[in-house]
Amino acid sequence: MTKIKNFRIALRAREISRWLKRERGLETTPDLEIAIDHLIKEGKTWIEPAAVYSTLTRQIAEKTTTIAFPERSIAVSVIAVSIGPGLVQKRLEAESDAGRQALLAALEQEALSQSVSFAVRLIQEQAKEEDCELSALAVTPAEAGVQNADVLDSGFRRNDGLSALASLVGVQRIGINLDSSGSELPSHARVSWLFWTPIGKGASKRAEKAVA
C-alpha cells in the first residue's frame, strides 16, 4: 500500500471549460476564460491532493472484493484520492451564486481527475516493469457521470463493494470518511481501479510475484 500527500497537479483551463459546456451548457467566452484562470489560481490554496493505492493479485482480490476480473487479467490496482475539504467549503459559501457554483464544480472534477491521473502514472511505471498493460480506468457506481459510463461495467458489481474497496486501501489515511451506510463517498474523493494484463513471455509470473 502506497500513500502520497501534497503532490502537485496541473489544473487545465481547457478541461474545465469543456466540463462546463458538457455538464452545464455554458459556452466559452472571454469572460468565462478569465473567470476560469482566476479560479485556478485561487484553487491552488484550497486543493490538497492525496492518494493511496494498493495492487492485489487476482487470487487475493477475488477473495476480498466484489471486483470481477477480465479473463486474462492477473492483478488489480485500487486507487483512492482526495482533494481535501477546502473546495467543499467554498461551494457551501457560494450556495446562492449559481455561476460560481458551476465553476467550483468543474474545478472539483478537474482536480479529482488530475489526482487520479497522478496515481495512475505511478502504477503504469510499475506495470511496465513487469511487462503488463493496464485496463481503462474504472470507477465506482456512485461516480457515474464523472468518468465515461462505459467503464462502469468493466468489473464492478453495482449493488455493493464500495466500503470494502475503500477499507482495502485505507482511505482514512488520506482523510476520507464514508457516510454511515458505507455506500457513498464525499464529493472531494474518488475510488478507481485498473486491471493488470501480461503482454510478454513470463510477465504473468513476474507480476504476480511483484504484487504478492
Q: How many CA atoms lie within 13 A of 20 on its CB side?
A: 24
Q: What is the pLDDT of residues 135-191, one digit of tens each?
A: 999 876 544 333 333 333 334 333 346 677 888 898 999 998 876 665 678 889 999
Amino acid found at 70? P
Confidence at residue 179, expressed as pLDDT on a 0 to 100 scale: 67
Write down the H helix ranges in the chain: 13-24, 30-43, 58-64, 86-93, 98-129, 162-169, 203-211
Confidence at residue 208, expressed as pLDDT on a 0 to 100 scale: 61
Q: 73-106 burial, b for 16+ CB within 10 Å, e for fewer?
A: bbbbbbbbbbbbeebbebbeeeeeeeebbbbbbb
pLDDT at 210 over 70: no
Place of cell 461495467: 153
Confidence at residue 151, expressed as pLDDT on a 0 to 100 scale: 36
Least confident of 66-75, 78-87, 144-153: 144-153
Tell me the mean pLDDT in the region 100-129.
95
Q: What angle do CA 140, 143, 148 make, to 5 degrees?
A: 95
**What are the residue ranges spanned by the domains of the chain?**
2-211
What is the C-alpha separation between 152 and 128, in angstroms, rounded? 24
Confidence at residue 154, expressed as pLDDT on a 0 to 100 scale: 37
Least confident of 19-23, 115-119, 161-165: 161-165
What is 2-211's CATH topology? NADH Oxidase (3.40.109)
Task: Compute the mean pLDDT over every residue in the chain, rounded to the nearest whole number.
Answer: 84
Query: How many CB atoms lie under 10 A from the CB of residue 28?
Result: 14
pLDDT at 27 over 60: yes
**String of DSSP letters for 91-117:** HHHTTT-HHHHHHHHHHHHHHHHHHHH
Confidence at residue 64, expressed as pLDDT on a 0 to 100 scale: 85
What is the C-alpha separation between 129 and 165, in angstroms, rounded? 25
Per-residue pLDDT band for 56 (boundaries 50, 70, 90) equals: very high
In Å, what is the CA distance from 77 to each residue of 136, 138, 173, 199?
12, 11, 17, 17
Tell me the mean pLDDT in the region 56-82.
92
Kindly report the pTM of this predicted structure. Answer: 0.84
What is the C-alpha separation between 41 and 52, in angstroms, rounded? 26
Confidence at residue 120, expressed as pLDDT on a 0 to 100 scale: 96
Per-residue pLDDT band for 66 (boundaries 50, 70, 90) equals: confident
